[in-house]
Amino acid sequence: MSTPQLDKIYDPKAVEARWSQIWNQQGYFHASPTHSGQPYCIVIPPPNITGSLHVGHALNHSIQDILIRWRRMQGLNVLWLPGTDHAGIATQNVVEKQLMAEGLSRESLGRERFIERVWQWKAASGDTIIRQQKRLGESCDWDRLRFTMDEGLSKAVLEVFVRLHEEELIYRGERLINWCPRCLTALSDIEVEHEEIKGKLCSIEYPLEQDPAIRLTVATTRPETLFGDSAVAVHPEDPRYNRLIGQRVRLPLTHRTIPIVGDAILVDREFGTGAVKITPAHDFNDFEAGERHGLPRYSIFDHQALLDPERLKAAGVEQALIDAVATLPVTKARPKIEQVLKDRGLLTKVDDHKMSIGKCYRCKTVVEPYLSPQWFVKIKPLAEPAIQAVEDGRIRIIPDGWTNNYLGWMRDIKDWCISRQIWWGHQIPAWYCRHCNTESLVETEHRIPGVTYGPGHTPKRLVILSTAKPIVAKQAPASCPLCNGTELIRDPDVLDTWFSSALWPFSTLGWPNHTPELKTYYPTSTLVTGLDILFFWVARMIMMGLKFMGDVPFRDVYIHALVRDAEGQKMSKSKGNVIDPLHVMEQFGTDALRFTLASMASPGRDIKLAEERIEGYRNFANKIWNAARFSLMNLDGPRAVTIPSERTFPDRWILSRLNQTIRSVTSELEAYRFDRAANTLYQFIWHEYCDWYLELIKPTLQDPASQDGPGTRQTLVETLETTMRLLHPFMPYLTEEIWHTLPHQGESIVIQTYPKPESSWVAPEMDHRFALLEQTIGLVRTSRVLLNYPPAQQIMFYVAHDEPQQQDHLHELRSHLSHLGRGTVDLAPPTHWPTGNLLRLVAEGLSVGIKVAGDVDLNKALDRITKEQSEQTKEIQRLEGKLRNQEFIAKAPPEVISDHQDRLKSLRRDQSMLLSSAQQVQAMLGA
């Protein structure tokens, strides 16, 4: 029989490339509704096509792959559906940047050619992350790769939009929305990131119209918006001001006067001066206050957040000031305005003030509240069932702690702004009849400085006022249903990318068609995601799934941690502290990275990732590799299958431990405790299988005449093969490689069955026996170190136990004791041991004595014994104290009391033996 030889060190690179290719070629990951087994489906959180694999993906995907490989091996009908999303704003930004480098712009290309250009970009660069995912060994059904802009998924988007519109759950209206002046588009509330900054609070005086000598002082952080003020609010119960309500003030720097209104909602009497300017077109709270008081809205910025001279004029601003600030951005206009106010004696105070500003989550530009017509989803009716689904447990959020977070957000949810003023994405299926909307369709010439426009592309900007009446349909209507006019303009806006992502769990399975896939795999089983997209994505999938499928999109939502750097800082390119998973995979191997991430995925705690950790698990992979290598070197010879109870002590013990390991790994996976599953495997493989089992069986394997040989070889193969299957979801490459070198049936470990607990392996008595062995060998080894005996030196040692049964076990363990203790063992009772030249250590009734030979320093040994004595004395006193306590005796459970008594007895016994050990050593030292 020829045995394959393995290299001394595991080389992941060669192994990974090979298996990755074979797995995909063989179609192991291909799912089909016709396959047998209960369906188990995960849809991947679609990464962005502009992205490349970062360590957060690596964690997210490793966890999914562990679940998927585990369930596949369990015989379920598994589908892991991969894909990417089109990331409207991000992708458009990337392509625009490219165009800029070529001296072009999207405006110069025009919409159609620009979109073509994005598709080209996608074809060339959009699957970077997919290739990287394959390297991570992800067992997705790659044949089913989906993209949010695919034909099928786009069809789903149309269907959903039209149906929601029919049910009046989608509407168009003019609202104050968050606007990114760089991306030139609306954003939803949650696409704005808030950041604390040090700002200034300006006190500005507004003279009363009737008596300009009296001035009302307002406090503001944004003095430039004063041009858009339409009132000043005070608290109706504030005695300082309430008599002024109904009067008017002169709005500085303008020709306007504005009313003083009483508003208990807006005004906090304690804050600032107690008087607030109301600027309905530029602040969300002011917008609502404006509604309450029927105030006009003066919008003073254009869409790039530059002060717009036309609008300033309409707001009655003094011409000199218009000239001074026109077309300036806020940052430049503000100081100028402050200066003018100061010159006129109206700016009386500037205080430092902590405040937060909103930034675009894609480009970090400061967003502006901007008044514009937009499309919205009326969200409350959709949120209701989505709240219930979580409340009544149809959807489980794991860890449970995030449930309240979800519920709180859902109960307070705001309408969702879904229109984006960009080109890349699903264009809104709404058309406007020119004839019927002549007043509402306003086209203005709009040249962007520095842009050369191609022939036929007039730089026009179409504004569709909120009064325009849209025709919403899946296809472009041939004519206007009202006037039969044929001049129809399509709404230029596209939908928020998350709108299409919200449909992901069913649009990817073929909806709106009734496909077998949809029938088999919906609802999906588990969603694995990070907390950052709980609201963006998870909540919206739940709403849409319930609405359009009538059922939840998934049963379990597993929320994993954020990966940070070793110092706990968020990783970011600008900080330069990113750990590149591809580099790590190159350096330490994919399996090491995967195992590291799994082992650190403790719930509710962020992962602080350091390279040393990955290195540690690289070493683990190498350890496993060498265990396999050892096995192969020792497998020559016949193997015999016998029932477990007839096998040797080491075999029965390792089977018992393996059984327990299978149990706990399985139950930890069921509980989504990847960390504990990984640590259980680590502990078993390294510290039981390698450290003890392989050592215990060496004499048998290396003795060709041993009677135990055939059985031991059998157990060795059996346990190693089983362990490889158990570990496979975590370390797919290494286990596949090793599995193939072992005697096996089948063509790949990927499609083998996952180990199940085996009752015939259970042997608690072997576990106890092992504990005795381990303790004995531990004392022998400690003694050797104390006496400076090198490991190779054969020694003479004595072992005895107080309890007859344990003493019997020691006899049964004799050969293992002498092998692992490296010497000759004498099992005579301590009364027969030599009294001189012996070092004796004691633990729980067990005594180990080692002959002291040659010139050794016994002081170390004496220190050790003395220390042990004092620790034991302390523990004895503690236990005695407890047992003397009448209340303890009266109230503690009997088993606790007897346990305490047993321990005390054992300690007292040990103590007296230790005392004689100490005396003997002292005698030797004295001699």
549-608 residues in contact with RNA (CB under 7 A) are 566, 568, 570, 600, 602-608
> Which residues, 6 or more positions from 97, have their beta carbon under 8 angstroms from its beta carbon?
none
Shortest gap between Cβ of 203 and RNA (angstroms)?
8
Binding mask 619-648 for RNA (x = CB under 7 A): x-xxx--xx-xx--x---------------
**Shortest distance, position 167 Cβ to RNA, whole Å:** 26
Q: CA Rg, the chain, in Å?
A: 38
Binding mask 842-871 for RNA (x = CB under 7 A): -------------------------x----
Which range of residues in 361-369, 673-681, 741-749, 808-816 is near RNA by CB under 7 A? 673-681
Binder among 393, 790, 854, 926 for RNA (CB under 7 A)? 790
CB of 367 to RNA, least distance (A): 13
Q: CA end-to-end span of the chain, whole Å? A: 61
* Local structure of 295: helix, strand or coil: coil
Looking at residue 231, its amino acid is: A
- The residues facing 220 across adjacent strands are 202
Q: Which of 97, 198, 354, 573 binds RNA (CB under 7 A)?
A: 354
Place of tokens 């291909």: 30
In 74-150, which residue ranges form alpha helices assigned H by DSSP?
88-101, 106-109, 111-125, 128-135
Total residues contacting RNA by CB under 7 A comes to 96
Run of H or E residues at 564: strand 563-564
What's the closest the beta carbon of residue 603 comes to RNA, in angstroms? 7
Residue closer to RNA, measured from CB, 441 or 533? 533
- Give the nearer residue to RNA in terms of CB position, either 184 or 717: 717
Does position 33 interact with RNA (CB under 7 A)? The reply is no
Cβ neighbours for 151, distance < 8 A, ≥ 6 positions apart = none
200 to 259, contacts with RNA by CB under 7 A?
A: 201, 218-222
Between residue 511 and residue 540, which ones bind RNA under the rule CB under 7 A?
531, 535
Distance set, CA 667 to CA 602, 660, 671, 757, 788 (Å): 15, 11, 6, 11, 45
Q: Give the DSSP H/E element, type plus range, for residue 371.
A: strand 368-377
Whose Cβ is closer to RNA: residue 445's or residue 612's? 612
**Is 367 among the residues that bind RNA (CB under 7 A)?**
no
For the chain, give me the number of helices (H) and strands (E)? 31, 31
Span from 119-127, 372-380, 541-549, 898-906 in contact with RNA (CB under 7 A): 898-906
Touching RNA, residues 276-295 (CB under 7 A): 276-277, 283-285
Nearer to RNA, 433 or 780 (CB): 780
Residue 272 binds to RNA (criterion: CB under 7 A): yes
CA 601 vs CA 558, 595, 647: distances in Å: 11, 10, 38
What is the sign, positive or negative, of the torsion defined by CA atoms of 479, 484, 490, 495? negative
Could you tell me if 139 and 81 are in contact, meaning their C-beta atoms sit under 8 angstroms apart? no
Q: Which residue, 89 or 176, has its beta carbon nearer to RNA?
A: 176
Q: How near is the Cβ of 794 to RNA at its closest, in Å?
A: 12
Distance CA 13, CA 156 (A): 42
Q: How far is the CB of 904 from RNA (least distance, A)?
A: 9
Whether 382 and 543 have beta carbons less than 8 Å apart is answered as: yes
Please report, as residue ranges, which positions from 304 to 333 form the binding site for RNA (by CB under 7 A). Answer: none
Q: Which residues contact 40 (CB under 8 A, 6 or more apart)?
A: 68, 71, 72, 76, 77, 78, 79, 525
Please, what is the minimum distance in Å from the beta carbon of residue 885 to RNA? 5
- Contact region with RNA (CB under 7 A), list: 318-326, 441-449, 660-668, 899-907: 899-907
The answer to whether residues 4 and 729 touch, using CB atoms and an 8 Å cutoff, is no
What minimum distance in Å lies between the beta carbon of 139 and RNA? 24
CB nearer to RNA: pick between 9 and 927: 9
Q: Which is nearer to RNA, 127 or 615 (CB)?
A: 615
The secondary structure of 835-904 as a DSSP string is SSSEEEEEETTEEEEEE--SS---HHHHHHHHHHHHHHHHHHHHHHHHHH-HHHHHHS-HHHHHHHHHHH
Residue among 698, 740, 744, 768 that touches RNA (CB under 7 A): 698
650's CB contacts (< 8 A; 6+ apart) are 693, 696, 697, 712, 816
Quick check: 896 binds RNA (CB under 7 A)?
A: yes
Residue 275 found at the interface with RNA (CB under 7 A): yes
502 near 544, Cβ under 8 Å?
Answer: yes
Q: Does 353 bind RNA (CB under 7 A)?
A: yes
Stretch that binds RNA, among 306-314, 756-764, 787-795, 804-812 (CB under 7 A): 787-795
| 13 near RNA, judged by CB under 7 A | no
Across-strand partners of 207?
A: 215
Q: Which stretch binds RNA (CB under 7 A): 40-48, 269-277, 419-427, 649-657?
A: 269-277
Closest CB 612 distance from RNA, rounded Å? 4
Identified binder of RNA from the candidate list 309, 888, 908, 922, rule CB under 7 A? 888
Per-residue x/- track, 444-483, RNA (CB under 7 A):
----------------------------------------
Q: Is 767 in the site for RNA (CB under 7 A)?
A: no
